[in-house]
Copies of this chain bind each other. A is one copy, B any other.
Amino acid sequence: MSEMQGAGLFGPSPLGVLNVGLSGFAGAVEAAGGRVSPVAWRPPAGADPDRAWRLAVALADAEVDAANATAVAAFLAADPVLVDVSSAASVIPALGDGARRLLHAGPPIDYAAMCGPMQGALVGAVLFEGWAADPDAAAALLRDGAVATEPCHHHGAVGPMAGVVSPSMPMWVVEDRSSGRRSFSSLNEGLGAVLRFGANGPEVLDRLAWMRDELGPVLASTLGVTRSGEAGGLPLRPIMAQALHMGDEVHNRNAAATGLLLRRLLPDLLASGAPVASLGRVATFIGGNDHFFLNLSMAACKAMLRAAEGVPHSTMVTTMARNGVQFGIRVSGGGDRWFEATAPVVDGLFFPGFGPQDAAADLGDSAITETAGLGGFAMAAAPAIAQFVGGTPADAVANSRRMQRIGIDRNPAFTLPPLGFASTVAGIDVRRVLDGGVLPVINTGIAHRAAGVGQIGAGITTAPMGCFLAAFDALFPASRS
């Protein structure tokens, strides 16, 4: 705009035009010697006039505003505390009833339709549980439905990438002190050949067995000591808040949070009664994995967002999750319904020898961190992540600023130093996503499309607009307008 004013008033500068919308108009102006500045504007609400009208009404709906205030207040009041590590069978009823059942990331999906890494991880879990003797037999059980599969999110749980949980895996148990409700996540396996990227060879199964037989029990004893302390467990929000001041966004960068966790648990680890050799293996495993805190961050976010579920009329997003084929969201006022669209392929930085053609579509429950205003929403706090997911520190700051446009409120518990300690977003509003066309940004790892190859890159993606349109149409159907 400044150029147009300046040029017209003061000098012989060429015609300046802001071109909004179709790019075809630009050619005519440029042919006449003019300069065109394209504006990336799109009509709101998916360019559907009826929906645009319903959106205008919804944006002015005081009942929705009140419902969102209720949902956000519950989200902000949640106080996730790490209280235990225990087997999935012992804390998730659906995995403890003797049925052969496994959990996976994202919205529901049939085994046959799943992406390679998720199928590979489920096969690995069947082998790990001893339900089949070899991968082919395991795959047959899954195809036939002899082993059932359900989303983690249907059981208060979350898992990164394939997100596969089986009954004997150790799980983080996070309790929301304000509601008493518990959320769960698996323990992070580290990098390389790991189940969550679909690998299921002996190395992977041996590590899972060690996690079940030594890591889990040692952490359980440790948290027994922690529970006997003043806080009755380890409050997770303060660790996440501090990590945001130490260069983490607690999704794809958890270097500081992992260190803070280890530092905080260490005295209790040493008082756990476990043999020193065992402590050495546990400390080496945790200390050697910058991503170890990720699963705890996810469980904490899940606990905070569960508190916001089920508020009638609320347009607050309570879940964003991907199964490698579909991207699904759930909304507070939408109950348990999933609103889905095709999961995008992530355009990011690929490890040498890999490219987008090798990539599985967006995968994992870890977008629960963005749903809670962290991860991509908090990238400003993690300038060094640009080296991992692409872009510059300035892009990271711009992403965090842009995300503030779709937030319902601010979260005073989590602040971003490079933005002058501005608060993170508390609650994504489906209405605002439609209104401004600003899609939630997500930092994510990229899995190879084939089972077991592992991580091949990392990048930044967005939740697809289709999910938000579907959720909006369900909450504000055409008949209501």
Binding site for B on A (CB under 8 A): 9-10, 242, 245-248, 255-256, 258-260, 262-264, 266-267, 270-271, 276, 279-280, 283-284, 287, 383-384, 386-387, 392-394, 417-418, 420-421
Contact = CB atoms under 8 A, between A and B. Distances in A.
Contacts of A255: 242, 246
B246 A266 contact: no
A72 B47 CA distance: 61
B263 A270 contact: no
A469 B386 CA distance: 43
A383 B417 contact: yes
18 contacts: A245-B383, A245-B384, A246-B246, A246-B247, A246-B255, A246-B256, A259-B260, A262-B266, A263-B263, A266-B287, A267-B287, A276-B276, A383-B417, A383-B418, A386-B417, A387-B421, A393-B421, A418-B418
Nearest to A284: B267
Contacts of A259: 256, 259-260, 262-263
Nearest to A259: B259
Contacts of A417: 247, 383-384, 386, 393
Q: Could you tell me the dominant secondary structure of chain A's interface residues?
A: helix
A265 B255 CA distance: 16
A470 to B, nearest CB: 38
B267 A283 contact: yes
A247 B271 CA distance: 31
Contacts of A287: 263-264, 266-267
A246 B392 CA distance: 16
Contacts of A420: 392-394
Contact of A270 (B248, B276, B383): B276
Nearest to A383: B417
With a 10 A CB-CB cut-off, give which of A264, A279, A280, A383 has the most chain B CB atoms. A383
B262 A270 contact: no
Given A9-B10, A245-B247, A276-B279, 18 more contacts: A245-B383, A246-B247, A246-B255, A246-B256, A247-B417, A264-B287, A266-B284, A266-B287, A267-B287, A270-B276, A270-B279, A270-B283, A271-B280, A276-B276, A383-B418, A392-B420, A393-B421, A394-B420
Contacts of A271: 280
Q: Which of A260, A264, A384 has the most CB of B within 10 A?
A: A384
A244 to B, nearest CB: 9
A259 B384 CA distance: 18
A384 B262 CA distance: 22
What 7 pairs across the A-B complex have the smallest Cβ distances? A259-B259, A383-B417, A270-B280, A245-B384, A246-B247, A263-B287, A267-B284
Contacts of A247: 245-247, 256, 417
A25 to B, nearest CB: 31
Nearest to A387: B421
A56 B98 CA distance: 86
Nearest to A262: B263
A266 B283 contact: yes
A267 B267 CA distance: 14
Contacts of A245: 247, 383-384
Nearest to A270: B280
Contacts of A276: 270, 276, 279
A287 B260 CA distance: 9
A364 to B, nearest CB: 25
A394 B421 CA distance: 11
A357 to B, nearest CB: 30
A248 B256 CA distance: 11
A418 B420 CA distance: 13
A417 B224 CA distance: 39
